[in-house]
Copies of this chain bind each other. A is one copy, B any other.
Amino acid sequence: MSRPKTGDKRAAILDAATETIAREGIGASTASIAKAAGVAEGSLFRYFPDKDTLLNELYCEIKSDMRSAMVADFPDAAPLRKRVRHIWDSYVDWGLARPSKRQAMLQLNVSERITEASKAEGEVRFEGAKEAMLQLVALGRLHGLARAFASDLLLAMAETTIGAMAASPADADRYRTVGFEAFWSAAAKKESREKTPKISE
């Protein structure tokens, strides 16, 4: 899309890597990535010492992009339900709007070439979201379990929802909402519905 006219080859390479890996998987050659980026084969290695580094930095970059989408306008002071809904919507909309990034991330997520360090780095600076998830766990159905479980559940359910939305664009809005309600029911307090609003506080 936006092939930077500026000398920003690094970004061009990361973009091209996203597209190419989304299409061809982790096995995409550095040559094809460089070509898609409009740079010489060798130039790729001026910005990334080797392919593994490129993959790891791409992973971090996409995570960071996703984070930005979630962090933007995060309603820190809103009720829990609103905050979780924000996370949900941000993630789902991000994935829908950037299918290549999402697809590339699916590939990177299962790759043995992404280091633990990269995965750890992907976790940082989601503070508002983490805090919301902590509260959700503390007050809800997942009480006593690891916060990561709630986060992973949200991501897994959102991922499934995105897939359904992409497959049936006409029903996209319903899927987003129903998906969220499903997650909320799964994770929020199990008491009678009347009390649920209280939980979300």
Any B CB within 8 A of the CB of A24 = yes
A185's partner among B141, B149, B178 (CB-CB below 8 A) is B141
Any B CB within 8 A of the CB of A97 = no
Whether the Cβ atoms of A111 and B153 lie closer than 8 Å is: no
A110 to chain B, nearest CB (A): 5
Contacts of A112 in B (CB 8 A): 23-25
Contact with B along A143-157 (1 / 0, CB 8 A): 011101100110011
- Indicate how many identical chains form the complex: 4
Chain B, residue nearest A185 (CB): B185
Contacts of A149 in B (CB 8 A): 160, 164, 175
Chain B, residue nearest A156 (CB): B156
Chain B, residue nearest A165 (CB): B149
Contact with B along A166-201 (1 / 0, CB 8 A): 011001001100100111011100101100000000
Chain B, residue nearest A22 (CB): B112
Residues of A that sit less than 8 Å from B by CB: 23-27, 106-107, 110-113, 141-142, 144-146, 148-149, 152-153, 156-157, 159-160, 163-164, 167-168, 171, 174-175, 178, 181-183, 185-187, 190, 192-193
Give 7 new A-B contacts, CB below 8 A, not counting A141-B185, A145-B174, A156-B157. A141-B181, A142-B182, A148-B164, A152-B160, A152-B163, A153-B160, A157-B186
- Tell me the dominant secondary structure on chain A's binding face: helix
Contacts of A187 in B (CB 8 A): 182
Whether the Cβ atoms of B160 and A156 lie closer than 8 Å is: yes
A146's partner among B23, B148, B164, B193 (CB-CB below 8 A) is B164
Contacts of A144 in B (CB 8 A): 174
The 3 A-B pairs with the shortest beta carbon distances in the complex, nearest first, are A182-B186, A186-B186, A156-B156
Whether the Cβ atoms of B178 and A141 lie closer than 8 Å is: yes
Chain B, residue nearest A188 (CB): B185
Contacts of A171 in B (CB 8 A): 145
